[in-house]
Amino acid sequence: MITLDNISKHFGNFTALSGIDLAVRDGEFLALLGPSGSGKTTLLRIIAGLAFPDEGRVSFNGEDVTDLKVADRKVGFVFQHYALFKHMSVVDNVGFGLSVRRRGQRPLKADIRARAHELLDLVQLGGLGERYPAQLSGGQRQRVALARALAVEPQLLLLDEPFGALDAKVRKELRRWLRQLHEQMGLTSIFVTHDQEEALELADRVVVMDKGKIEQIGTPEEVYMAPRSGFVSGFVGDINSLAVTVVDGKTRWHDRMIDIDPDGAADGPARLDFRPHDVALGAEGSGSLPMVVTSAYRKGGDWRVEGTVGGAARVIEVDLPADGPQPRAGQRLSLRIGRGRLFREDEEARR
């Protein structure tokens, strides 16, 4: 188990991380999700021992490793741009970790090569061992980087934006494959991403970060369905925000009552967040939102309809079943929100 206790890190005046507490379970696949500048990569580097916190402790299985260097932590680190050694063949890259061991612990040359070839088979690159990194595609380089990290038999695998530099199709394949590998090898893995879809698809638990703080830790289901803050709600998944007011424990939009329970929110201005698929067409009336369509296109089995409500500049996106006719620009629709969450308006200002 990996435990982070009250980690803080500053770069000059910039606070990269403050008061981070996190416990990672054995065998878990954890995503650190956040926008750029949220501190997620810095946190990963602190876990690896490539960076050191100003305050706080890092421990692996109860053992304090805060002051241990990366070489002594037994972690595998996969860099965003792979960081393969250009002047070495693929097999030498993979064997590097074994070949730098101290005399006595270092396997024979032939054994290192054999082990490297085994790992290349594991990452489905058998037969490419004699090539050089420049002769491989992006996805192949990424897998070499992974095999190289696994060669030192790490207890923990850390990946910095592992799919960031790949095109969409390769990315999807590699994701699935990485998940399999993780289970097959019984690893504990932590990966950094700014792509919420990737985090939700791949991870057992997602750590949502913003401005050097953890906003929420939870399963993909929890983070998506029950965002604990306005930031998480806005960052994870497609979302619409509407400025509303809570009056006498009821949600109001202009002079209309919206059928969303404020869930104990105090009276005053608030922000109503709802997902594009949580709406339905309904009769015009007090509980509905009048939407003016600006455009509509097919998105899978739905029409993704974009438009505005109440003359506000902000674009609202909703998904309507595609068995109905395609909405036209300028058309008026009457929407009913089936499910939504209220957040204090000041959380909106914070973003």
Residue closer to other proteins (CB basis): 97 or 212 = 97
CA 350 – CA 127 distance, rounded (Å): 53
Task: Yes or no: say if 132 and 144 are a contact pair by the CB < 8 Å rule.
Answer: no
CA 273 – CA 341 distance, rounded (Å): 5
| Identified binder of other proteins from the candidate list 5, 59, 68, 79, rule CB under 8 A | 79
Is residue 109 a contact point for other proteins (CB under 8 A)? no
Interface segment toward other proteins; rule CB under 8 A; list 59-67, 94-102, 272-280, 303-311: 94-102
| Identified binder of other proteins from the candidate list 40, 113, 115, 148, rule CB under 8 A | 148
Is residue 138 a contact point for other proteins (CB under 8 A)? yes
CA 29 – CA 191 distance, rounded (Å): 8
| Identified binder of other proteins from the candidate list 122, 128, 152, 170, rule CB under 8 A | 152
Is residue 83 a contact point for other proteins (CB under 8 A)? yes
| Identified binder of other proteins from the candidate list 96, 195, 204, 252, rule CB under 8 A | 96
Residue closer to other proteins (CB basis): 75 or 289 = 75
To the nearest whole angstrom, how small is the minimum distance from the Cβ of residue 75 to other proteins? 7
| Identified binder of other proteins from the candidate list 76, 262, 327, 340, rule CB under 8 A | 76
Q: Could you give the angle at the alpha carbon of 176 between the alpha carbons of 27 and 49, nearest 5°?
A: 45
Per DSSP, the three-state class of 146 is helix
| Identified binder of other proteins from the candidate list 13, 36, 62, 86, rule CB under 8 A | 86
| Identified binder of other proteins from the candidate list 68, 70, 217, 292, rule CB under 8 A | 70
Strands (E), the chain: 2-11, 14-24, 29-33, 55-60, 63-64, 75-78, 156-160, 188-193, 205-210, 213-218, 240-247, 250-253, 256-258, 268-274, 279-281, 289-299, 302-309, 316-321, 332-337, 341-344
Q: Give the pair of three-digit tokens for residue 341.
A: 């969450």
Q: Kindly list the strands in the beta sheet with 341-344, ordered across the sheet, starting from the edge strand earlier in the chain.
A: 256-258, 250-253, 240-247, 268-274, 341-344
- First-to-last alpha carbon distance for the chain, in angstroms, is 33
| Identified binder of other proteins from the candidate list 101, 332, 339, 351, rule CB under 8 A | 101
As to burial, measured by CB atoms within 10 angstroms (0-12 exposed, 13-18 middle, 19+ buried), residue 341 is buried
| Identified binder of other proteins from the candidate list 97, 139, 262, 340, rule CB under 8 A | 97
| Total interface residues for other proteins by CB under 8 A | 29
Is residue 100 a contact point for other proteins (CB under 8 A)? yes
Is residue 224 a contact point for other proteins (CB under 8 A)? no
Is residue 128 a contact point for other proteins (CB under 8 A)? no
Per DSSP, the three-state class of 192 is strand
Helices (H), 217-350: 220-225, 230-235, 345-350
Nearest to 29 by CA among 154, 232, 183: 183
Is residue 134 a contact point for other proteins (CB under 8 A)? yes
What is the longest distance spanned by two Cα atoms in the chain?
A: 81
Is residue 170 a contact point for other proteins (CB under 8 A)? no
Is residue 292 a contact point for other proteins (CB under 8 A)? no
Is residue 171 a contact point for other proteins (CB under 8 A)? no
Residues 6 or more apart whose Cβ sits within 8 Å of residue 221:
none
Interface segment toward other proteins; rule CB under 8 A; list 83-91, 221-229, 295-303, 328-336: 83-91
To the nearest whole angstrom, how small is the minimum distance from the Cβ of residue 84 to other proteins? 8
> Within positions 27 to 66, which residues make up the interface with other proteins, using CB under 8 A?
48-50
Task: Yes or no: say if 150 and 120 are a contact pair by the CB < 8 Å rule.
Answer: no
Interface segment toward other proteins; rule CB under 8 A; list 95-103, 261-269, 302-310, 312-320: 95-103
Residues at the interface with other proteins (CB under 8 A):
48-50, 69-71, 75-77, 79, 81, 83-88, 96-97, 100-101, 134, 138, 141, 148-149, 151-152, 165
